[in-house]
Structure 1
Amino acid sequence: MLYQVHLQDLIPEHNFYRLLDKAIDFRFLYKATKAYYGEEGQESIDPVVFFKICLIGYLNNINSDRKLIEYCSNCLDTRLFIRYDIDEALPWHSTISRTRQLYGEEVFMELFKKVLSLCVEKGMVRGKRQAVDSAFIKANASMDSLVEKEVLDDADYYTQELNENSEYKVSQTRKKLVDQHHDWKTETYKAQPKGSTKGDRKDENGNLIRPKYLSNHTHYSPTDPDARVSVKPGKARQLNYFGQIAVDDQNHVITGACADFADKRDSQCLEHIVELAKENLEENQIELGEILADAGYSSGEALKYLNDNTINAWMPNFGQYVPHREGFELQKMGNYYQCTKEGGNKAKLLFKVEKTDSKGYTKRTYRSSESDCRKCPLREQCCGMKTNFKKLDDSIHKEHYEKMHQKLTLNPEYAKRMSKIRSKTVEPVLGTLINFTNMKRVNTRGIKQANKHVLMAALTYNLKKYLKFIARKPKSKAQEVTLEQEKWHTCLKTIFLSFNWIVLSLLIFRNKNFISKPNLV
């Protein structure tokens, strides 16, 4: 039997994909992807079709390209959205994967900026406050794929080659410890180590089995070398990427998004995400206002960047920051600490050296002389039993920490309010991205592909907000005039009632019994 069927007749007018197709014109992608197409050979997938299919995957939280093609071929509204007829075969799932790797990050960023500009035109972004936060994104690699890194077999020979300024041949002096997949979870000890307990597991030969802890310094994944081992408190270790987003506080629109290596700290990623948000806002003629972040983004380098660029930020100082040294006062003119303890010898702790500790923090060291502290009656309490001098370490960015601490201390109520605004702005957005917009796991490999993944999830979230947003503006000039008149009427009414209350209060204080007098009533 023959039927005459049109997809437009089968899909209702208020369908989400029909509304989405009317909201944004994807034809600008032809110009953005022109450099990736040639004039010869077989015809490749249409760039508009590719991005529409990707959008369908993020809108429906589909992580697999194979499952995505199956979903698109089974749904009539998605076929109408990508302009494929009922009997027309969709592209292969491998074509989606290869095209995703072919396009550069700038194409995905251009699509993100296009969606953001639509949100700005609709009045959804004001730029007054940008809340920043991060989340781990699971990499497309297993912990079982980890192998140990290559190490130097002869360090002395390596030093000798460097001193002679000759080219060092890595293949002659490196030794590969492990060249195959192994069980990373446990490690067997033939000898009984110190501190063993009765609850430790043993193998068939009676050897003690202890868990083997991994580090990015010693192991890597050949499946995805850019993935990093990371862990959250109370959860198992896994290979992750770091997703960073900046969200406008007015209507929770994402103004900046990127992916980074999971072994970094939040403070190391602050500059990148703030610059992205600032650039995206400036392209839409919006000035960046305040930055709201948690204590994880606080560091000396981050505070210095914010101060140098005159960016107003509200974030608690790092947990190890000490605003005041009890019993010691910093003399900035002489750059030394003065002991102020009662009963002490009033020793001076002079500046000695700047050094970097094992965690990468550069600090200034202040130390007193042994002659000043040896005979001090408070030596044991202040210096300890084994030392005859006092040592203090300060961050080289102490003045930036103090400036932020002073700002938070002088405005405690406002700082508390900014903390609440940050948590209610960016944290629900992250939860939505991870649970409903396919950002929980990267379905590709490499830091560039992870960045594309985060950008697609972010612009999909903005698109959904854009379609649901209703601008609260008057429909006509007459309604606008009526609203203004109502505002002025309410204001004048409030002023009149306040004036009457003041007059009545004055009369009451002047004569308490005026109510009983008929002429006053």
Structure 2
Amino acid sequence: MSVKPGKARKLNYLSQLSVDTAHHVITDIQAYHAEGKDNQYLEDISNRLKKRLHGQGLIWRNCLADTGYSSGENYAFLESEGLRSFIPPHGTYKGGPDGFTYDKSQDYYTCPQGKIIPFKKEFIEKKNNTRKKEYRASKRVCIGCPIRSECLGKSAQEKKFTVTFYRAEYERNNVRVNSSEGRYMKSKRQSTVEPVFGTLTQFMGLRKINTIGIAQANKVMHLSAMAYNLKKYLKFIGKTVKSDAQGMHHFVLELKASISLQIRPLTALNI
């Protein structure tokens, strides 16, 4: 069951698709139940895809995806696999409160008034089942602070906030995303994956699956991907054959010209 704001509930499958940026070949496709989020399936996709590519002697270096696949867990997983992520973070991500600076070596924050907010504990947030770190100052630190009412609000006695456990992984990913290479990668992803999705849904009938069960849905998706890749292969072979024929034609012309040049001096010498 898929639920989207402002739209009716529907029985859907979630199609996850990976595409090679060099030739727009579908390298992996899988159907999942639609109640999950995209970022929950990235690890499964990556494990399956990496094994397949390595089996063909292909090296995978970069992972391009949209914001739906963003999570600290995914960034950390991709780094452990030796992959560079280019996945824009969610708009809600912050490396800490506004105006606070982070000290990586001592793992604490400094507030705008120069007071230290130390790390207190690590925990799992139940709402999203995500790993978090809590930072909290003591009451005496915040007493008498000139910006106390703005910083703490009405009821709080001390400054307390949580930050994702994977802050370092987020920051490294964000540096890549905001670089010139990251901007290029974003345009590359948009021109690679989106057209493939459009072809599958608009021209190959994947807007609806007329089967029962996720296993049958996967068969339909795999057959569609096979048909798509076969068309790409035939098109590529056609270009290769045409270019080979043109190359052979030019070779023959050059060979004839070379023979002609060699014959003419000999004829002149004989005369």
| Whole-Å separation in 2 of the counterparts to 1:482 and 1:271 | 55
Matched, 1:263 2:35: yes
Query: Greater share of helix residues, 1 or 2?
Result: 2
Scaled by the length of structure 2, the TM-score of the pair is 0.83
- Which residue does 1:358 correspond to in 2? 127
2:118/2:137 contact within 8 Å kept: yes
| Whole-Å separation in 2 of the counterparts to 1:482 and 1:286 | 38
Task: Please report how far the alpha carbon of residue 425 of structure 1 lies from its aligned counterpart in structure 2 after TM superposition.
Answer: 0.8
Which one of the candidate residues 346, 349, 353 is aligned to 2:115?
346
| Whole-Å separation in 2 of the counterparts to 1:265 and 1:314 | 18
Matched, 1:445 2:217: no
Matched, 1:408 2:177: yes
Q: What letter is aligned with 1:370?
A: K
1:379/1:388 contact within 8 Å kept: no
- Which residue does 1:283 correspond to in 2? 55
2:76/2:169 contact within 8 Å kept: yes
Which one of the candidate residues 82, 92, 112 is aligned to 1:320?
92
| Whole-Å separation in 2 of the counterparts to 1:482 and 1:283 | 42
Contiguous gaps of at least 5 residues in structure 2: 255-271
Q: 1:282 to 1:471 in 2, by over 3 A?
A: farther
- Which residue does 2:265 correspond to in 1? none
| Whole-Å separation in 2 of the counterparts to 1:384 and 1:446 | 52
1:290/1:312 contact within 8 Å kept: yes
Task: Please report how far the alpha carbon of residue 397 of structure 1 lies from its aligned counterpart in structure 2 after TM superposition.
Answer: 1.1
1:401-457 deviation digits (Å, cap 9, x = unpaired): 011112233x2x221121111111111111111122122222222222222221111
Where do residues 380-395 of structure 1 align in structure 2 (5 Å cutoff)? 380-395=149-164
1:68-118 deviation digits (Å, cap 9, x = unpaired): xxxxxxxxxxxxxxxxxxxxxxxxxxxxxxxxxxxxxxxxxxxxxxxxxxx
2:95/2:167 contact within 8 Å kept: no
Q: What letter is aligned with 1:385?
A: K
Where do residues 8-407 of structure 1 align in structure 2 (5 Å cutoff)? 229-323=1-95, 325-339=97-111, 341=112, 344=113, 346-407=115-176
Q: What letter is aligned with 1:349?
A: P
| Whole-Å separation in 1 of the counterparts to 2:141 and 2:33 | 48
- Which residue does 2:193 correspond to in 1? 426
- Which residue does 1:474 correspond to in 2? 244
**Structure 1 residue matching 2:184: 3-state secondary structure:** helix
1:233-283 deviation digits (Å, cap 9, x = unpaired): 553220111111111122321111111121111111112222333233223
Identity of aligned residues (%): 37
| Whole-Å separation in 1 of the counterparts to 2:110 and 2:38 | 35
Task: Please report how far the alpha carbon of residue 480 of structure 1 lies from its aligned counterpart in structure 2 after TM superposition.
Answer: 6.9
| Whole-Å separation in 2 of the counterparts to 1:348 and 1:467 | 62
Task: Please report how far the alpha carbon of residue 324 of structure 1 lies from its aligned counterpart in structure 2 after TM superposition.
Answer: 5.3
RMSD of Structure 2 on Structure 1 (CA): 2.4
Q: 1:480 to 1:240 in 2, by over 3 A?
A: farther
- Which residue does 1:121 correspond to in 2? none
| Whole-Å separation in 2 of the counterparts to 1:328 and 1:241 | 43
Task: Please report how far the alpha carbon of residue 394 of structure 1 lies from its aligned counterpart in structure 2 after TM superposition.
Answer: 0.8
**Structure 1 residue matching 2:123: 3-state secondary structure:** strand
**Structure 2 residue matching 1:444: 3-state secondary structure:** coil
**Structure 2 residue matching 1:239: 3-state secondary structure:** coil
| Whole-Å separation in 2 of the counterparts to 1:431 and 1:408 | 25
Q: 1:388 to 1:347 in 2, by over 3 A?
A: farther
Q: What letter is aligned with 1:366?
A: Y
Q: What letter is aligned with 2:147?
A: L
Q: What letter is aligned with 1:403?
A: R
Q: 1:347 to 1:305 in 2, by over 3 A?
A: closer
Q: 1:384 to 1:454 in 2, by over 3 A?
A: same
**Structure 2 residue matching 1:455: 3-state secondary structure:** helix
**Structure 1 residue matching 2:244: 3-state secondary structure:** coil
| Whole-Å separation in 1 of the counterparts to 2:33 and 2:195 | 23
1:295/1:317 contact within 8 Å kept: yes
Task: Please report how far the alpha carbon of residue 336 of structure 1 lies from its aligned counterpart in structure 2 after TM superposition.
Answer: 2.0
Q: 1:482 to 1:277 in 2, by over 3 A?
A: farther
Q: 1:461 to 1:233 in 2, by over 3 A?
A: farther
1:263-318 deviation digits (Å, cap 9, x = unpaired): 11111111222233323322322222322111111111111111001112212122
**Structure 2 residue matching 1:474: 3-state secondary structure:** helix
- Which residue does 2:258 correspond to in 1? none
Q: What letter is aligned with 1:429?
A: V
Contiguous gaps of at least 5 residues in structure 1: 1-228, 484-521
